[in-house]
Structure 1
Amino acid sequence: MTYRKGPKVESKRSFIFLIVLSGISLSSQAQTTEQEWKFTLKNAYIERDFDSPVVKDIGSWSQSASLFYTSKMKDTPLSIAGSPITIGANASTQYAVRLSSDKHVADTILPFDPVNQSQAADYLKYGATLKLGYQNTLLSLGELWLDLPLTTVDGSRQLLTSYWGGNLRSQLSDQLQLELGHITKLSPRNEEDFRKFSYTTKGVTHYSDGLNYLDLRYQISPHLKTEYYFGHLENLYNKHYLGVEHTWKADSFSLNSKLKYFNAQEDNNQLNIDAQNIGLLESVKINNHSIGIGYQQIIGESAYPLPDGFLPEPYFINWNTTGFFKQDEKSYHFIYNYDFKDYIPGLNTTLKYVYGNNFKAADGHENKENEANFIGSYAFQQPYLKGLALQYLLIDYNVKQGTDFTENRFFVNYSKKF
């Protein structure tokens, strides 16, 4: 069962930590053979400068320390057909402190008090999960870490998004995996507590009593896999997703093809949601070089909906800082990655460019936008620095009618498992 903290205790910012972008293991196995503790530190400096004198720049510098626990599954006295029912638990604690001065503006990273117009000095998230297993099936109740359309773990800022509810994962065969879930609340990356799902349109916020979903993944062959997802966000809208991915490999060469289709329709006559997203991405890897070309198109009577809470949709072909999911928008995607493993092991660089058009600005005029990204990351290879990594992200966004901005993100990450 998941619980949340009570009144916040004011912290002393006496130390500046190094930290790590933490990942959460999303295993579908019911029988965890070993328990694991994972300790992470993340130092995050993020700033966004708008090219407008009337729009306030946003950002902050913060430090987090987090601890994640995954237990081994243990047999209980109960069994079915001779196979024992197993039990286990997970737990998490995430804490971050602001190191920069208060900019008195919401930056989507730290909690923000709109009444006092102040950024939180620190914030704390914690939760726990009860696990029950039987053969290749695992039932989890409490805090959940999900990697699905609509609900993903967002590590792009400081503390991680998590969800509250229950889900069941089962490996039905070597090829087929099933997941069912009922998610009642979420804890966004910039908030402490769990709250209901919501969707805001035209200044009005609509709330949901929960998300019910089904996810099927089928490995047709070693090179071809498919996924189907259905999510019913109660009182809001329904979402379908179908994805097909094919990989062809040869010596020093591979070709990866992804075809994705999303369909969102309203489940509430107060809303006007009717959007489809079709995307294709072709990626070629030759030795240390990777090149990708993609296309994405939004079809329907509305922009593609995203729930409140800054929930990203990395399942999209063209998921960027600015999304590229406006009504009728067409976007073209280019990405180039180089792995320096033969020269500087641990160093990777990525260049990404997306151009979007065929959508309208708020005043009805034709609009277009583009976003360029540079990502550089380095994971230290020395044994005494194992787990330490650096990452830098530069974002340059331009729009014909709107506000341009430049954003810098710099992370120092540390991770230790024991």
Structure 2
Amino acid sequence: MSAFADDTAKDEWKFTLKNAYINRNFENENLKDTGSWSQAASLFYNSRMVDTPLTITDKPLKIGVDASVQYAVRLSSDKHVADTVLPFDRETQSQAPDYLKHGATLKLGYDKTLLSVGELWLDLPVTAVDASRQLLTSYWGTNLKSQLTDQLYAEIGRVEKVSPRNAEDFQKFSFTSNGKTEYSDGLNYIDLRYQVMPSLKAEYYFGNMQDLYNKHYLGLDHSFNTENFTLGSKFKYFNAKEDGNNFNIDAQNIGLLETLKVNNHTFGLGYQQIIGESAYPLPDGFLPETYFINWNATGFFKKDEKSYHFIYGYNFKDYIPGFNAAVKYVYGDSFKTADGKENNESESNIILNYAFQQPFLKGLALQYIRIDYNVEHGNDFGEDRLFVNYTKRF
């Protein structure tokens, strides 16, 4: 992690434009279709680390500042329904015409250690950056990262608030179950990553969401490479229990995923099972658990649920450079409805990505996602997501 204190690095600005059309159609005529069409413009600044006059054992303490501004405007008419994309006023039952998010971070670096205070962009269990809708999720708090040895990386932090993808301001974490909502003063966590050998990585994470729940995560990631193919194996174990007496939370999630890459083809086969006395808990605010073996629109984390994941992808680089496609299918069963009926669900996805290769269109990319969800006892839906993205770094 020498880049933490690299004063030869340059300041980086990233400007993005994102046009997002998202529409979910329910087969149940009594449910309103959800979605919106919006345009965003965002600017992200990442400063280089600059030496200060302070030194420790002949090494300088370094300082830097990051900042972000994200803005989106609704282009579609108000559907008067919460779509998980735009802020929604439940009193007036209206979608916001636009919304603005902004934040800043103070960075202090020493050798291979970095302290960040302010807005945090986290890729961890519980706290992921969600880019699946319009504006990005971010967090507010303090964390300390350090490359302790060549093999061991450690991160500790306290996250006090979150700014969800469909909200402007930073707010307290909360959790809702059976109509009851409780709030937390913050998330304390530690994350350890160890390179066991070149082909094997291990990760352990513990997070205490005060007054809500504790979460443990253990992950193993192995890669086997030959001239003709690459075989990737992932094992993931999650354990969640209540912290305090507000909820009855007791859930484990065990996941396995095997991924085979042969030339331009990618094949994936996975299994996930929820064990315990409750569903696996997720914080309010549509915060995804991207560490699951295959996070989907519907999650597949209900109490006792077993799910089976099938993935196929193809890179068309030999025919249409910049274009790739993937299909996913997930089937889940062994769970029950609230009134005790045996239930099952399935979700299929088609994902198309194209990044323009022409020099004058560099940075422009398209993505289309089709989602079809079916459940024996519940509400089926079909969803379309179309994104036009542009990124310019300078």
TM over 0.5: yes
Shift of 1:34: 1.3
Deviation at 1:301, TM superposition (A): 0.1
Which residue does the alignment assign to 2:195? 219
Question: Structure 1: which amino acid aligns with 2:295?
Answer: W
Structure 1 segment 12-411 matched on structure 2, within 5 A: 29-31=4-6, 33-411=9-387
Q: Which amino acid aligns with 1:57?
A: D
Task: Return the offset for 1:305.
Answer: 0.1
> Shift in Å at residue 317 of structure 1?
1.1
In the TM superposition, structure 1's runs of 4+ consecutive aligned residues that sit over 4 Å from their partners are none
- Read off the aligned partner of 2:323 and give its amino acid letter: L
Please give the alpha-carbon distance, in whole angstroms, between the structure 2 residues aligned to 1:121 and 1:80: 51
> Distance between the aligned counterparts of 1:286 and 1:177, measured in 2?
31
In 2, Cα distance between equivalents of 1:417 and 1:185: 29
Unaligned runs of 5+ in 2: none
| Equivalent pair of 1:181/1:214 in contact (CA under 8 Å) | yes
Distance in structure 2 (CA, Å) of the matches to 1:319 and 1:364 = 26
Helix, strand or coil for the counterpart of 2:195? strand
In 1, the alpha carbon distance for the partners of 2:54 and 2:149 equals 24
1:28–1:170 Cα contact (<8 Å) kept: no
AA aligned opposite 1:29:
F
Cα–Cα, structure 1 residues 403 and 28, in superposed 2: closer, same or farther, change >3 Å?
farther
Residues 97, 61 of structure 1: CA spacing in aligned structure 2 closer, same or farther, 3 A cutoff? same
| Aligned residues of 1:29 and 1:138 also touching (Cα < 8 A) | yes
Deviations 1:364-407 (A, max 9, x none): 10000000000000000111100000000000000000000000
Cα-to-partner distance string for 1:49-108 (whole Å, 9 max, x where unaligned): 001011110000000000000001000000100000000000000000000000000000
CA distance in 1, matches of 2:94, 2:221: 45
Query: Given that residues 211 and 246 in structure 2 are in contact (C-alpha distance below 8 angstroms), is that contact kept between their aligned partners in structure 1?
Result: no
RMSD: 1.0
Q: Deviations over 1:319-339 (max 9, x none)?
A: 100000000000000000000
Which amino acid letter does the alignment assign opposite residue 269 of structure 1? N
SS in structure 2 opposite 1:215?
strand
The answer to whether the Cα contact below 8 Å between 1:318 and 1:331 also exists between their aligned partners in 2 is: no
Match of 1:9 in 2: none
Deviations 1:233-265 (A, max 9, x none): 000100000000100111131000000000000
TM score, norm. by length of structure 1 = 0.93
Contact 1:31 1:133 in 2 (8 A): no
Distance 1:401 1:395 in 2: 18
Normalized against structure 2, the TM-score is what? 0.99
Closer/same/farther in 2, CA of residues 160 and 367 from structure 1, 3 Å limit: same
Distance in 2, matches of 1:28 and 1:274, equals 40
Code of the aligned partner of 1:389:
A
Identity over aligned residues, as a percent? Answer: 70
Unaligned runs of 5+ in 1: 1-25
- Separation in 2, partners of 1:373, 1:300: 29
CA deviations over 1:123-149 (Å, ceiling 9, x no partner): 000010000000000000000000000
Q: For 2:159 and 2:257, how far apart are their aligned partners in 1?
A: 30
Partner of 2:301, secondary structure, is coil
2 CA distance for matches of 1:402 and 1:230?
Answer: 34
CA distance in 2, matches of 1:375, 1:270: 40
> Does the CA contact (< 8 Å) of 1:293 and 1:334 recur in 2?
yes
